[in-house]
């Protein structure tokens, strides 16, 4: 398995790919893509073989962060260099949200927030019934925790004791509407998941060692579903995007693109 340092370097390469894609398209969701990339990189690198028929699956419930997923698929050889320049273009496989119709490797068509955990439950239950030992990871946003369907699904997953289901919440504290606690205060999400019958913990979602350790605990848990609340920074790695709700959805052009590249150069140089 790659070391934490190697995975951090990989995640930072993915950050550059995210910025490049959104710059070329002049549209996308940079903030949430940059906040989730460390966790997403670790999940794929340690438990998802994209070239295997039977494998663990990833449901990116916060589908607007799909540039992060595309960056990982590119490094795995699923997407070509040329295709990476087609984000959000007509007839491109790289749509603004994951779509299995043209790109089955994204595992789930998502974008309507709140539905991904239900999809993941169906996949996890199917794997159990088929004797498939692989896992299902559902990656949600903290703004998505405002959706009632999430908590209905959480109750059902615990009822069925789906110990092959892992939910990771990218808690960057900002949604498209602003600060999440000012829209609906999620309070302690780990405590909430525990109340619904899950095993849950909170970690630093940018500390690769913490991420790897949490994933290992989640995979070893036999009691039922496991939730990892990853505390992150929206726009992580690009100084002017960090904790800035304006970059929930935004293009990256001109001097702002150059500034982003300088920030990423500094991030990579500090590894």
The DSSP secondary structure of 194-244, one letter per residue, reads HHTT-EEEEEETT-HHHHHHHHHHHHH--SS-EEEEEE--TTTTSTTTTT-
Q: What is the mean pLDDT of residues 241-267?
A: 96
Which whole-number Å values give the CA distances from 166 to 108, 188, 205, 239, in the listed order? 15, 18, 15, 31
Tokens linked to 131: 């004797």
CA–CA separation, 215 and 132 (whole Å): 19
- pLDDT bucket at 268, cuts 50 / 70 / 90: confident
CB 242: neighbour CB atoms within 10 A?
A: 17
Residue from 187, 184, 135, 130 nearest 157 by CA: 135
Buried b (16+ CB within 10 A) or exposed e, 70-93: bbbbbbeebbeeebbebbbeeeeb
Strand partners, 139: 60, 168
Query: 4-269, superfamily in CATH?
Result: Thiamin diphosphate (ThDP)-binding fold, Pyr/PP domains (3.40.50.970)
Q: Are 25 and 66 in contact (CB under 8 A)?
A: no
178-207 pLDDT, tens digit per residue, is: 999 999 999 999 999 999 999 999 999 999
Tokens linked to 148: 């009632």
pTM to 2 decimal places: 0.97
Which whole-number Å values give the CA distances from 202 to 93, 94, 124, 238, in the listed order? 34, 32, 23, 24
Q: Are 240 and 269 in contact (CB under 8 A)?
A: no
227-243 pLDDT, tens digit per residue, is: 999 999 999 999 999 99
30-86 pLDDT, tens digit per residue, is: 999 999 999 999 999 999 999 999 999 999 999 999 999 999 999 999 999 999 999
């Amino acid at each position: 398995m790659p070391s934490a340092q190697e995975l951090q370097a990989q995640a930072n390469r993915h950050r550059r790919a995210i910025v490049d894609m959104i710059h070329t398209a002049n549209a996308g969701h940079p903030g949430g893509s940059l906040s989730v990339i460390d966790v997403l990189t670790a999940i794929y690198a340690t438990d998802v073989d994209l070239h295997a028929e039977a494998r663990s699956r990833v449901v990116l419930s916060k589908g607007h962060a799909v540039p992060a997923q595309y960056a990982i698929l590119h490094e795995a050889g699923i997407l070509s260099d040329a295709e990476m320049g087609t984000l959000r273009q007509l007839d491109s496989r790289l749509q603004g949200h994951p779509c299995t119709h043209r790109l089955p490797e994204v595992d789930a068509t998502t974008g309507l927030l709140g539905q991904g955990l239900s999809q993941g439950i169906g996949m996890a239950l199917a794997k159990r019934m088929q004797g498939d030992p692989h896992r299902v990871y559902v990656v949600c946003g903290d703004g998505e925790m405002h959706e009632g369907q999430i908590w209905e699904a959480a109750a059902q997953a615990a009822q069925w004791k789906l110990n092959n289901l892992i939910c990771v919440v990218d808690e960057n504290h900002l949604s498209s509407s602003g600060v999440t606690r000012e829209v609906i205060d999620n309070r302690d999400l780990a405590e909430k998941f525990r109340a619904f019958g899950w095993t849950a913990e909170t970690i630093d979602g940018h500390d690769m060692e913490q991420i790897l350790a949490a994933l290992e605990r989640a995979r070893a848990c036999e009691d039922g579903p496991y939730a990892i609340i990853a505390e992150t920074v929206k726009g992580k790695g690009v100084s002017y995007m960090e904790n800035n709700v304006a970059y929930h959805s935004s293009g990256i052009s001109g001097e702002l693109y150059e500034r982003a590249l300088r920030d990423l150069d500094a991030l990579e140089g500090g590894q």
